[in-house]
Structure 1
Amino acid sequence: MLLLLPKDIPKIDEDDPKSRRAAEVIAKAKEENAKSVRAKMWAYRGVSVPINVFDFTVSRHRDGPDLFLIDRDYEGTLLGDCYGANTGIHMRSNGLVVHAACVAHARRKAEYALGNHREHATALLKCFNRLYDLEDQCRHMDWDARFAFRQEHALPVWTLLRSYLENEMSKVSTKEKIGEAKGYLLNQWDGLVKYLGDGRIPIDNNECEQLMKQVALGRKNWLFIGSVAAGYRTADLMTLCSSAIRNDLDVYAYIKDVLDTLLSGSTDYASLRPDAWAKSHPESVRHYRAEERRQRNARRDRARLDRRLSQSESE
């Protein structure tokens, strides 16, 4: 999204690395007589905590995860695509943040190669389809059971996939689309199989990428962000709205109560988390949304079952 440059460089908060970095970027842009700079909105989706978080940055692209995670001493797993801001975070965080690669991105590489080498691409996609079928089966398991299920059923599929890449595809040219798919899989292998070792980690980050549609919708309506402060406020408001939706809350009721509570001087932030707030305000929970999700999942599962049956008949 475009950030219109202010007349004056924003006041710097010396204790906030993100504030210092934004001031540096804006100062450099003004020296070049630019009218605007391209800012970025990042989305984070908690797994063990049902919260969606948006973060606004005016800086180099990789600064987003670094300023949000590393500077806040986060320790855990970051699931995302193999963009440089994600893949290098393990080293930049001194090993505290582990990168898990999105399997959906790897599958797309094989899909792109269907017109280049259909035999190999089809073989790769069969493995990916099998992996996603297995995820459907363990989706409702607890974390420990999902870990055991993946070790028993998904790990052998990855072993088969690795063997196919190194043997049947040993002479594939790196200049072809199918060669790019092979190279991507082998280069990102450790990140792609990371989810096998932890039942909490999803197989892909599709649900987080869906959050960026909310950013795209806003960008289409706003066209630009008028100031750095406005970007931060936008991220905060989107965090509240998106998290309320995720927890099936009445968005207006939740945000109004949060703002009223904060304006009254309360610092009991834990009680304002959407999952905690839902327990104390059951009248504001929209239970029909859970049923809508159940129906969507049922339609998706049915479509995948039909695909599996169709493949079995063709084989």
Structure 2
Amino acid sequence: MDTEGTPVRVSSLAGAWTFQASLDDLAYITFRNRDSVTPAVVNLATGVTLTNLPKQTVLEYYTLTYMGFGRTAQSGVYKLLRLRMTNRTQTCDILTVGDNVEWRRTRPPPMIARQSYASPPVALDGALHVLSRDENCVLCFDLESEKWQAIHGPQGGVIRVKEPISIAQLNGTLCIAQMEPYLINIWLLSDSKSNVWVKAYTIPTRRKVVKHVLPLRVLRLGGGLLFYFYGNNAKPKLKVYNPSLRRCTAVKTPANLIGTIGLCSADIYSNVHLVTSPN
């Protein structure tokens, strides 16, 4: 659907379980049957599955597995990153889409990553970004060199707090959404070399507890922030925050939406679109 909530294309992906949209035509989707999980890379504009990846058992998938999907900056190759946690030991594997479709072990991050299925790794500028679990840092994995580095988070230990927190990319800038009682703070990384973060939005909310927030895009007209969120026992809601009026307006979504919303620029009408998952 477009950013006003109007459906642009409906694709049937029977058995789709989770997905990660990317800011191009592709998405990483997992399909689940009774005993196994099959990952695949799918073209969102056509619905065509480009490549099927090695199957995992459901038990393997739930062994604190954290998946990221992105493209290298120089060669334009798509890669998948897999982080697994077993007995406080973190392992890291990489898979190059289009190769012999096999996972290969690579060096793990320098600190434990925070694993959240609601906030998957963020692909930006040829790297995947994840939040640290215990430190005020963002872990950055360069997909070309396959090396890790750490970016310090906003002042005040925002990433270490107990309140819910998520990571995203907002109009090409790394972004952190920090939830507090009745407030949502949106931080932007304005200078990655100097670790400078700016609090770009403070959004008032009627909910004391917001379980998850995902900033999607700053709109051209009026600078409104398009985001989706959900609280406890509530289906996801898509809204636009007007910073001048300090008010949110609702954007219509499919009535059966119980899953997640992602952002892509699938070349259907050469525009930016939202992608929803019914599961």
Higher relative contact order (CA 8 A, sep 6+): 1
Q: Which has the larger radius of gyration?
A: 1
TM-score by length of 1: 0.21
Give the structure with the larger strand fraction: 2
Give the structure with the larger helix fraction: 1
